Amino acid sequence: MEGTSYDHEHFLFGMLFALGNRLQAIGDGFYEELTCKQWFVMAGISIFEAHPPTMNELADTIGSSHQNIKQIVLKLEKAGFVEIYRDEKDRRKTRVKRKEKSFELSQKYQQKEIEFMSALYDGIEDENLKITTATIAKMERNLIKIKNY
């Protein structure tokens, strides 16, 4: 922030974009088998452990459009990482679940992921992580309100 004419809000706004770009660039080179966005979709599916999500639920969780999620999920299905199927109770709904190949991928990269997360958060105190998490969660709620106007 020092040396710029931006206030904290504008600076943070720009930093969020820059951070997202850097994370995606590093993430795209992290896995041989997946892009960063494909990994993020699989992580989103994992949140729904007990009951696989519909495409719409997954899109809402990821913060992306149904069309974008569907394209990514179709590529993941073609690669054997997920299965797309019709909901048994409501045939209008399409659900997606991880397949064994995705769990094998998680095992393959587990140590590398631990090392990356450790390096990413190096020198950041737990209290700062809690404050940052709360701030970003509040920003997300505000964005949802703005979207619904």
- How much is the mean pLDDT over the chain? 93
Average pLDDT of the residues in 29-53: 93
Closest CA to 59 of 138, 47, 29: 47
* pLDDT tens digits for range 119-146: 999 999 999 999 999 999 999 999 989 9
In the block, residue with structure tokens 């950041």: 124
Do the strands 82-86 and 94-98 form a parallel or antiparallel pair, or are they unpaired?
antiparallel
Tens digit of each residue's pLDDT (9 = 90 or more) over 94-120: 999 999 999 999 999 999 999 999 999
Three-state DSSP class for 42?
helix
Tell which wins on pLDDT, 77 or 7. 77
Q: How would residue 1 be classed by pLDDT, with cut points 50, 70 and 90? A: low
81 and 99 in contact (C-beta within 8 Å)?
A: yes
Fold (topology level) of 20-147:
Arc Repressor Mutant, subunit A (1.10.10)
How far is Cα 135 from Cα 127, in angstroms, rounded to an integer?
12
